[in-house]
Chain A
Amino acid sequence: MKKQKVIVLDSEQQNKQDILAISKMQEGLNKMEQIPVYSPDLQWFEQMVLVEKQRIRKKLIRDLSIFLIVAIIILCGIMISLFQMPAVFIFLQIATTIFIAFYSVTRLMKKVNGG
């Protein structure tokens, strides 16, 4: 019983110390809130939005072009191998299937093990 009382007192004491530490931190952070922040004018923000949108558009066009070029190269390769070298085509199909299965299993194992 006595032991329990001591533990309760200790935790109460600790809570008080925590509250004190938190209030000191809040006091300091409140002072940070007083730091004057220079806010640019509306035109600056509008210009920033325009520039960012243009950048996003350019990036989208670049990514799409890369995607299309790579897709065309892969498709051409597959078509050529299918009509000119069927053995290579079959080998590529099997190798890709094995790779996808192996990759999926490894990923799943990692997720299960929490790694």
Chain B
Amino acid sequence: MDALIKNAKKGDHLAFAMLFKEHYPFLVKYLIKITMNPDTAEELAQETMAKCIQKIHLYNGQSKFSTWLVSIATNTYIDQCRKKKREKNWQGQEEIYRKLKWHFESRNEDWNDALEALGRLPEDIRIPIILKHYYGYSYEEIGEWMKISPGTVKSRVHNGIKSVRKELNLSEETEGHRFGQRTTK
């Protein structure tokens, strides 16, 4: 196990601080992707680090420290969503990612249609898609973190991609392309 983690487990404040500083950008960027909101991502990153301090004795070094952080961050976000839904102050997803869209536009970057489609998906579908197809985690790992079976993760990812495809009108495009090819033959 890394010396920093060993020292952090022993209660060394500086080791903890160095670990967090090293992983902070990765953690915030992951949270921006799943929340689609930079402010929420920063809040959740702090909450994740606080949980990490509480649970460091549970980290066994079998996975990377960043993977462990991702699992805690995912759970923290899911808990926050549940809480907000219960308190009924859940904002619409479009309202949530408006700020990110503005961020992209201010940097003269294209707001990709796929991001729009991804942003419209509910978080319990968006998270496994990002974890699987961007970070490359296995269905088993994602299932363990989200407390659902790997089969459920697989079907959520499949259905999510299907709706993204629909939003992007990919089926029509390729279908049209296919028919076009047929007529030329």
Q: Would you give 28 A-B contacts (Cβ < 8 Å), ordered by A?
A: A16-B174, A21-B168, A24-B112, A24-B114, A24-B168, A25-B114, A25-B115, A25-B133, A28-B112, A29-B33, A31-B112, A32-B33, A32-B115, A35-B29, A37-B32, A39-B24, A42-B17, A45-B17, A45-B21, A46-B17, A48-B50, A49-B17, A52-B49, A52-B50, A52-B54, A53-B13, A53-B53, A56-B53
Residues of B within 8 A of A (CB): 11, 13-14, 16-18, 20-21, 24-25, 28-29, 32-33, 38, 46, 49-50, 53-54, 100, 103-104, 109-110, 112-115, 117-118, 129-130, 133-134, 161, 164-165, 168, 170-171, 174, 178
Is the CB of A13 closer than 8 A to any CB of chain B?
yes
Q: Of A25, A34, A39, A53, which contacts B118 at CB under 8 A? A: A25
Interface size bracket, A side = 20 to 34
Query: Do most interface residues of chain A lie in helix, strand or loop, or is the interface mixed?
Result: helix
Task: Look across to chain B and name the residue whose beta carbon is closest to the beta carbon of A43.
Answer: B17
Q: Are B114 and A27 in contact (CB under 8 A)?
A: yes
Q: Which residues of chain B are within 8 angstroms of A20 by Cβ–Cβ distance?
A: 170, 174
Q: Does A22 belong to the interface (CB within 8 Å)? A: yes
Tell me the complex Cα distance, A31–B115, Å.
10
Instruction: Encode A72-115 as 1/0 by CB contact (under 8 A) with B.
Output: 00000000000000000000000000000000000000000000
Q: Decide yes or no whether A26 CB sits under 8 A from chain B.
A: yes
Q: Are B24 and A17 touching (Cβ within 8 A)?
A: no
Pair A39/B104 contact, Cβ less than 8 Å: no
Please name all residues of chain B whose beta carbon is closer than 8 Å to the beta carbon of A37 when the two chains form the complex. Answer: 24-25, 28-29, 32
A46 / chain B contacts, CB cutoff of 8 Å:
13-14, 16-17
| Cβ contact within 8 Å between A45 and B20 | yes
Q: Name which residue of chain A comes closest to B24, CB basis.
A: A39
- The docked-state distance in angstroms from the alpha carbon of A50 to that of B117 is 41
CB distance from B48 to the nearest CB of A (A): 12
Residue among A25, A41, A42, A56 facing the most chain B CB atoms (10 A cut-off): A25
Cα distance A17–B167 in the bound complex, in angstroms: 12
